[in-house]
Chain A
Amino acid sequence: MNEDSTQRDLRDHDLDRPSLEAALEKTWKTPSGVWGVLTTVDHKIIGRRYIFTAFVFLALGGVLSILMRLQLAQPEARVLGPDRYNQIFTMHGANMMFLFAVPVMEAMAVYLVPLMVGTRNIAFPRLNAFSYWMFLAGGTLLWIAFALDMGPDVGWFAYVPLAGPQYAAGKRADIWAQMITFTEVSALAVAVEIVVTVFKQRTPGMSLDRIPLFVWSMLVTSFIIIIAMPAIMIASTCLILDRLVGTHFFNPAEVGDVLLWQHLFWFFGHPEVYIIFLPAVGMVSTMVATFARRPVFGYLALVMALIATGILAFGLWVHHMFVTGLPRLGESFFTASSMAIAVPAGIQIFCWLATLWDGRPVFKTPLLFVIGFMFTFVIGGLTGVMVASVPFDTQVHDTYFVVAHFHYVLIGGAVFPLLGAVYYWFPKMTGRMMSERLGKWAFWLIVIGFNLTFFPMHILGLQGMPRRVYTYQPDMPWFGLNMFVSLSAIILVAGFLVFFIDAIRSARTGPVAPDNPWDAPTLEWSTSSPPPSFNFVRIPVVSGPNPLWEQPDIMPVASGLRTDRRELLVTTLTKAIPQAREASPRNSIWPLWTAIATSVMLIWSIFTPWAVVWGSIPVAVALIGWFWPKGTPEDEA
């Protein structure tokens, strides 16, 4: 019996390269046409889709910020009324955090992590497909609600009692809370996939000390997601219960507690910043090594800094609550922990500087964005140290100083590396190069435009301008700087337009990219651009953290995987020693059905709690369909 099955199995070492490629393509391909689009579980297709969708949300959020700058350019302007303005600033924040920043980082990981660890697909590929559909549904819900004048207007933080049943009538706050549920589900799903992919699917030889730094950063990020997201899930569920069922979690008149919301929200909300920032750090480490032409300095220190940041991230949520009247001694603890996070950040900056110092920098667009990142992010980090100080914060909390600070951290610290990463990995993802000339234009416009737009906000904040105001009075001395900020935003917007034009044009007509255009050291560059559906013809075996530099001519491979069914190599956690062959699921329509059923249940539940009861029946049916054995070779044990 055993012998029989080994004879029937076709293994990759039985075939020469062309017939092996053909056999793998037959097993792994996504069918063309609409059916293929709806059923695919290929992490590359889903990753690209995810990235594209997230950038669409970035553009939409950018349009909102243009509207806000139009309104704020002059005192008592009437471009937007208070109701519309409150919806817009809430949408801008919620959209950028939940629909752009977190998903785009996870999307980059969905695409890159399996390639960087040398495996054929992400772990739980159907869950991955499901997660994308949920993300799309959540984003669509929010934007359709906004188009119908039902957009949330309580801030992306939705503080109670303002977001509670008494002061936020209608369905606006419910839409915010349910959009959170959608993005939570998708983010948690991806986090679990990444953890398992990194722990169990690394290619032979990729021991813990050889994992690419971007993969390390995504591993830490995924753990932060898994630990932080339940807090906001509890918070938003309690809010919905208060609003829909009449519970009193946050109602002070019935012994509920208003501050409980803030604790739960920021226990998630502060780690959220690192969920966005750590992947960017991983991208920077990757690009610095490639363009400095040397392995990154202080690999171990960088990994430790990532882990330290991930742990400290959970110890500083109270610095968002320094003026709520908590005990001063407790606040001092959170000052100390918030300050302490500057140490791992400093370690990273110094290691990158050392890498650049000893390397031979090649000034391509990705490296330019890394330089722009350092220039800008260090300012954001230092203003972060400022607001970590309780007394300092009592003057700048909830002012434009903080608006400046977190845009420096989020745009300077995360979006700049992301744009660099798009230029860097675009050839791998699309098989075409982006334009260096337009890339330099985009870089200069964005970095100059950004700093001119956001630096003056520090001064506005110290001059007493609060956040989240839809206007200000003419007798306040804020008009000049606000006008300057609004005009500077034009430069920033122009930069993003150049970037988008370059990306769209290059995807269609850019020069064809070689497999490894930057002579980069990590595994994703060892396969073709774009990679085949099965990622690697033969599974590479690595003996160092920079395999393509250490073994430039000959790449050893592992063989023995079946070609007639989707099969992955499972390896041990620490040393990545081959352990088993594991089947990887085929394409399926059921993740889409499950996502539709779940979406119906969640949206329906905005209107009646019974939706959770009746709506769970279709979800159960879809899940049964999802797991029902289909008689494919993958179903064999």
Chain B
Amino acid sequence: MIRELHGLALASAALLTLSACTGRQSALDVHGAAAINLKQLILLIVVICSIVWALVMIALISALWRKRDRRERPSSIDPATEHRLTITVVAAVIITVVIIGAFTILSFFATRTLNVAGNDDLTIKVRGLQWWWSIEYFGSTSGQRFETANEIHIPVGRNVRLQLEGVDVIHSFWVPSLAGKQDLIPGRPNELIIRAERAGVYRGQCAEFCGLQHAHMALFVIAEEFPAFEEWARLQRQDATTSSSQEADAGRQAFLAKQCAACHTIRGTTANGTTGPDLTHVGGRQYIAAGLLETTRGSLAAWIADPQTLKPGNNMPMVPLNAEELKSISAYLAGLK
């Protein structure tokens, strides 16, 4: 018992020190306004609860091992002791009620701060699909609208309103370093406001079980200073770059000739499928296949060659390609910055 107590104390201490560690996807490594508030709340409640637990354990240990007089018969009860015990138990219950009440009020107000509508500077639509994220930006005019996938760029220090929409099954948007999670439910649009206080790359991952590849449904939020964000958005609005090399050119032709174009859109070409992610600037994204692989020509080739081994059950079929086609298509896609 004592040994375990020790272990737990150490573990709790570890929990508290962990807050100093960094992780790319952690409720304790916070860089967003909401997440910073939540972390304070989490630590406060954890500390109070740890103290309560320690007090109960002290009471348990002293109840078990205190010295005592011999009892005559098991059914005999001393009224004076009974009275003292009653007072103690009632006091303990009152303390419980006070703590519980404080937690309730605390979370009520913490919920209100989470919900500050504020004046959002940017609205982004996030759609959850099995097993990737479709991201849509709006501008003041229809020409400024564009789509991307699995990667959200936001300006630092601005409120960003995310419109969350489940397309097939329920998913959940969760980038713990920025904010708590919110579900994407078919037929019930939700919203979430995020605000990054520091530039950085924050990883998130689907948090509602959504089928075979729930484990591989990550996304990245890239927070950058406003000018950099503007530049990125300007680039994204443009059509796909025209191929510069002969190989990439061949790749583009192969892409359009094969089944690829039936599911994927590359703006500026005839590829306009909508089942899979928009690939107009796929080469400029950090990851492919919803956080599965870093974007390189090699990983693109590997993914296209055998998507079902890398991410079993996902909706991308294996398209039969010869070595030449595979090489050129991956070169073409990697070049779509």
Contact = CB atoms under 8 A, between A and B. Distances in A.
A358 B81 contact: yes
A324 B185 contact: yes
B53 A325 contact: no
Contact of B73 (A83, A161, A361, A549): A549
Nearest to A468: B209
Interface stretch (A191-199, A223-231, A392-400): A392-400
B183 interface: yes
A256 B104 CA distance: 34
A360 interface: yes
Interface in B62-120: 62-64, 66, 68, 70-71, 73-75, 77-78, 81-82, 85-86, 88-89, 92-93, 96-97, 100-101, 103-104, 106-108, 110-112, 114-115
B23 to A, nearest CB: 5
Contact of A350 (B24, B27, B93): B93
A393 to B, nearest CB: 8
Contacts of A388: 103, 107
A476 B218 CA distance: 12
Nearest to A168: B211
A448 interface: yes
B42 A395 contact: yes
B20 interface: no
Given A324-B185, A353-B60, A466-B174, A343 B108 contact: no
B52 to A, nearest CB: 6
A521 B215 contact: no
A293 interface: yes
Interface stretch (B4-12, B241-249, B261-269): B4-12
Given A161-B168, A343-B100, A378-B53, A390 B210 contact: no
Contact of B312 (A82, A358, A361, A391): A82
A382 B210 contact: no
Contacts of B187: 252-253, 256-258
A346 B75 contact: no
Given A347-B93, A391-B111, A549-B74, A371 B1 contact: yes
A463 B74 contact: no
Interface string A258-277: 11000000000000000000
Given A252-B187, A549-B74, A390 B111 contact: yes
Contacts of A297: 82, 85, 89
B190 to A, nearest CB: 4
Nearest to A549: B75
A262 B56 CA distance: 35
Interface residues of A, number: 97
A473 interface: yes
Contacts of B198: none
B212 interface: yes
Q: Please indicate which of the listed interface residues B28, B56, B106, B312 has the most CB atoms of chain A within 10 Å of its own CB.
A: B56
A110 interface: no
B112 to A, nearest CB: 8
Nearest to B73: A549
A335 B104 contact: yes
B313 A83 contact: yes
A157 B80 CA distance: 51
A349 B60 CA distance: 10
Nearest to A519: B74
B115 A385 contact: no
Nearest to B55: A378
Given A371-B64, A467-B209, A521-B75, 8 more contacts: A332-B107, A389-B107, A392-B41, A397-B207, A398-B172, A447-B4, A459-B14, A462-B18
Interface of A: 81-83, 86, 155, 159, 161-162, 166-167, 252-253, 256-259, 293-295, 297-298, 301, 323-325, 328, 331-332, 335-336, 339-340, 342-343, 346-347, 349-351, 353-354, 356-361, 371, 374-375, 378-379, 382-383, 385-386, 388-399, 447-448, 451-452, 455-456, 458-459, 462-464, 466-473, 475-477, 519, 521, 544, 546, 549-550, 552
20 contacts: A82-B213, A82-B312, A86-B212, A162-B210, A294-B74, A295-B75, A328-B111, A332-B104, A353-B60, A357-B62, A385-B100, A389-B110, A392-B45, A394-B114, A395-B38, A395-B42, A396-B27, A463-B28, A470-B214, A552-B73
Which 7 pairs show the lowest CB-CB distances between chains A and B? Answer: A394-B180, A252-B187, A389-B107, A469-B215, A464-B25, A325-B190, A549-B75
